């Protein structure tokens, strides 16, 4: 978990064009007209199309460079920055190589599969080919050359597991550590979860990361030699792919620094290619965009991805494009790449809504980014430790956690880069030494039952009045009953829905003893107690321990329950949480006596008012709303003591309530401390 943000300002639009309109100059002109009309600051062209062989011969590349140079010059003549997206490095997935280009060492997964046309970064002949290819492309005159997101060792068509287990990697591992492994034995040992071999995993993933960072440095040197004025960019995939491929993003970023661009571009990934399910956008932001600043500890120019894959026009409405742009900016970065251009058919904006939206939204986004300068993001989150792969299951489902996205769906702000309070789940507790764990706990923390049990087994928290037992899964949990003394009348003693929607760690049980309080109980079909669901205490630290496994169903009862647990843990020092409505998500930045609140409505329901719970209760001097023209105006709000007796209720009215599938931004100023 990094303590600082690499938030990138100012706002800029980069149009990522899949094709180069080869042989169709009229279509190329229409593409540049689209970029002009959309207020784009840069145009990034693919160096090749997906229909071409993945690794063309160097002679073919030499023949294409003058054509690419003309395209770069056309972009610059329009007043925009020209960029090149090198589309295939290691290989996105199986593809037939060009004649004579199948001579390199294929990538090999843990099961021995070799995806055709995908090559290992340790193959020196392949690295030499790729470096010369980048050097040739640098002669085209682009301001930046970007490495596509196939620069990874996990997740490609034709492979099912982690990579790369080729003879070069197995041999390098043996040479470095004096050990001889077969692919089968090494893969089996890496996957073990009964007693993960952390030391072996750390050494193996270090080799994977070094192989990528080493190749990145060779590509950087090649580009700098051809064009000292060029910068580099890196497109990355979601955190679980980075972790399961052993990537060390800091090392890759450092390897891509050039004199012209000391802070390389780094673009987040994560999908949300269409808007059929609006809440999928929240999943993308929380699971793929938010963690990146927490996993990078060196300077970089962060950039958000917006993509309509496989590039059909209208795959995403202007309404959701605006929402996605806003969430990227208010969460992580003012720089945005757009893959929304219809390369195949040229129908760039048939609705007529996209281009006006792009122009009209830019001043608003710039005002949002300007307001966030100098502020720190805060929220209750699972922190993305850079060594998660040492202790977690090496699968997409087991690597990280669903907790963050489900907290977000309950109206709770997120901030993995500065989690306050942090959430420890399962084996992640083993990533921290006793001293580090105690420092985290001293801030107030949330833990699931497995993480709590692990810390107790290590001799920590032995005086904590929450008991935990590890057991064989018992009776079927039928009901979760709220028993918190402070629960409101509409919730106290009520049962919450459980079956099919909520997951629990049923191999454990929790119970409060003197000095702790059960907030909820888990009962079987006959009403017999199986365990506590949520337990809180302030001894020896402020803790909330959950039997939940990260899927706290999105409904108002659990919204109150989880928010109450957070308030106890954080002792009131929490960002505001949306109260009494669902499908609303807040983003919170603060500093210098004021805060910026981004509030998104992912639902289809309109509300006349919206309530936020502000646990801190600092006196508010003013609340301003950012109008769509980018100017700050007075918000329509009211503030009063919260019914719990702690903190404030901030109630928004009228235009200050986000409309369906939309958002609002507020600037909150506090009274000076006396």
- Give pLDDT tens digits for 242-255: 999 999 999 999 99
Q: Look at residue 2 in the predicted model and tell me its pLDDT.
A: 42
User: Is the Cβ–Cβ distance between 166 and 107 less than 8 Å?
Assistant: yes
Cis peptide before 602 (omega within 30 of 0): no
User: Is the Cβ–Cβ distance between 309 and 272 less than 8 Å?
Assistant: no
CA dihedral 98→100→102→103, nearest 10 degrees, is -150
Q: Nearest 5°: CA angle at 202, between 201 and 207?
A: 95
Q: Look at residue 528 in the predicted model and tell me its pLDDT.
A: 94
Name the pTM for this structure. Answer: 0.96
What is the spatial distance between Cα 162 and Cα 113, in angstroms, rounded to a whole number?
A: 11
Percent of the chain with pLDDT over 90: 86
Q: Look at residue 180 in the predicted model and tell me its pLDDT.
A: 93
Sign of torsion over alpha carbons 241, 245, 251, 252: negative
379 pLDDT band, cuts 50/70/90, is very high
Q: Is 99 exposed, middle or buried (0-12, 13-18, 19+ CB in 10 A)?
A: exposed
| Residue spans of beta strands (DSSP E) within 263-414 | 265-267, 301-307, 333-339, 376-377, 379-381
Find residue 669's DSSP bridge partners.
594, 622
How is domain 578-670 classified at the CATH fold level?
Immunoglobulin-like (2.60.40)
Q: Look at residue 168 in the predicted model and tell me its pLDDT.
A: 99
Q: What is the CA radius of gyration of the chain?
A: 26
Integer CA distances (angstroms), 652 to 348, 409, 625, 639, in order = 38, 19, 10, 9
9 pLDDT band, cuts 50/70/90, is low
Would 377-571 and 578-670 be classified into the same CATH topology? Answer: no
674 pLDDT band, cuts 50/70/90, is very low
Among the listed ranges 407-411, 418-422, 423-427, 561-565, which one has the minimum average pLDDT value?
Answer: 418-422
Sign of torsion over alpha carbons 373, 374, 380, 386: positive
What is the spatial distance between Cα 61 and Cα 124, in angstroms, rounded to a whole number?
A: 20
Predicted confidence (pLDDT) at residue 346 exceeds the cutoff of 80: no
CATH 3.40.50 assigned to 377-571: yes
Predicted confidence (pLDDT) at residue 12 exceeds the cutoff of 50: yes
Residue of 420 and 263 predicted with greater confidence: 263
What is the spatial distance between Cα 31 and Cα 38, in angstroms, rounded to a whole number?
A: 11
Which are the contacts of 636, defined by CB distance < 8 A and separation ≥ 6? 625, 652, 653, 654, 655, 656
User: Is the Cβ–Cβ distance between 529 and 433 less than 8 Å?
Assistant: no
What is the spatial distance between Cα 72 and Cα 536, in angstroms, rounded to a whole number?
A: 60
- When the pLDDT of each residue in the chain is averaged and rounded to a whole number, the result is 94
Going from N- to C-terminal start, the domains of the chain cover 377-571, 578-670
What is the spatial distance between Cα 8 and Cα 333, in angstroms, rounded to a whole number?
A: 5
Q: Give the residue carrying structure tokens 């100012």.
A: 10
């Amino acid at each position: 978990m990094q303590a600082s943000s690499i938030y990138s300002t100012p706002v800029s639009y980069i149009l990522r064009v899949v094709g180069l309109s080869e042989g169709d100059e009229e279509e190329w002109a229409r593409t540049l007209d689209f970029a002009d009309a959309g207020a784009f600051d840069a145009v990034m062209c693919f160096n090749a199309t997906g229909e071409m062989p993945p690794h063309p011969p160097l002679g073919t590349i030499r023949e294409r460079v003058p054509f690419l140079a003309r395209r770069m010059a056309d972009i610059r003549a329009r007043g925009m920055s020209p960029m090149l997206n090198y589309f295939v490095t290691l290989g996105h997935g199986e593809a037939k190589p060009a004649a004579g280009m199948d001579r390199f060492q294929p990538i090999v997964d843990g099961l021995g599969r070799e995806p055709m046309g995908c090559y290992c970064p340790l193959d020196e002949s392949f690295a030499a080919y790729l470096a010369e290819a980048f050097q040739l492309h640098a002669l085209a005159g682009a301001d930046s050359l970007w490495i596509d997101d196939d620069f990874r060792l996990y997740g490609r068509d034709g492979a099912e597991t982690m990579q790369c287990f080729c003879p070069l990697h197995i041999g390098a591992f043996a040479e470095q550590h004096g050990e001889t492994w077969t692919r089968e034995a090494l893969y089996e040992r890496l996957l073990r979860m009964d007693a993960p071999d952390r030391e072996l995993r750390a050494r193996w993933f270090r080799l994977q990361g070094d192989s990528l960072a080493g190749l990145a440095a060779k590509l950087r040197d090649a580009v700098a030699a051809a064009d000292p004025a060029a910068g580099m960019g890196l497109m990355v995939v979601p955190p679980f792919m980075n972790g399961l491929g052993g990537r060390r993003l800091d090392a890759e970023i450092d390897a891509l620094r050039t004199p012209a661009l000391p802070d390389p571009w780094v673009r987040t990934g994560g999908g949300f290619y269409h808007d059929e399910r609006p809440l999928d956008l929240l999943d993308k932001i929380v699971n793929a965009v938010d963690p990146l600043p927490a996993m990078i500890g060196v300077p970089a120019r962060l950039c958000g991805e917006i993509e309509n894959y496989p590039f059909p026009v209208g795959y995403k409405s202007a309404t959701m494009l605006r929402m996605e742009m806003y969430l990227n900016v208010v969460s992580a970065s003012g720089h945005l790449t757009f893959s929304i251009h219809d390369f195949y058919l040229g129908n760039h904006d048939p609705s007529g809504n996209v281009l006006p939206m792009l122009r009209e939204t830019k001043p608003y986004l710039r005002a949002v980014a300007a307001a966030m300068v100098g502020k720190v993001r805060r929220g209750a989150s699972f922190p993305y430790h850079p060594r998660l792969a040492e202790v977690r299951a090496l699968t997409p489902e087991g690597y990280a956690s669903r907790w963050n996205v489900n907290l977000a769906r309950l109206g709770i702000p997120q901030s993995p880069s500065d989690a306050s309070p942090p959430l420890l789940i399962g084996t992640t507790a083993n990533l921290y030494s006793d001293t580090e764990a105690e420092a985290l706990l001293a801030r107030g923390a949330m833990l699931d039952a497995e993480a709590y049990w692990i810390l107790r087994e290590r001799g920590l928290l032995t005086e904590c009045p929450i008991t935990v037992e590890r057991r064989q899964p018992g009776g079927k949990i039928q009901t979760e009953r709220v028993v918190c003394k402070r629960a409101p009348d509409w919730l106290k003693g009520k049962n919450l829905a459980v079956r099919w929607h909520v997951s629990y760690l049923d191999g454990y049980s929790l119970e409060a003893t003197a000095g702790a309080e059960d907030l909820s109980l888990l009962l079987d079909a006959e009403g017999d107690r199986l365990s506590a669901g949520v337990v809180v205490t302030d001894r020896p630290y402020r803790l909330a321990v959950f039997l939940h496994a990260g899927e706290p169903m999105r409904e108002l009862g659990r919204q109150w329950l989880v928010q109450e647990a957070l308030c106890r843990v954080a002792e009131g020092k929490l960002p505001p949480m949306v109260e009494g409505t669902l499908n609303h998500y807040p983003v919170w930045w603060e500093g210098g006596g004021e805060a910026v609140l981004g509030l998104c409505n992912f639902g289809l329901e309109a509300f006349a008012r919206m309530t936020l719970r502000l646990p801190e209760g600092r006196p508010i001097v003013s609340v301003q709303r950012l109008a769509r023209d980018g100017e700050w105006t007075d918000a329509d709000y009211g503030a009063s003591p919260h019914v719990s007796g702690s903190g404030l209720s901030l109630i928004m009215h009228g235009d200050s309530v986000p409309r369906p599938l939309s958002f609002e931004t507020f600037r909150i100023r506090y009274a000076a401390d006396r």
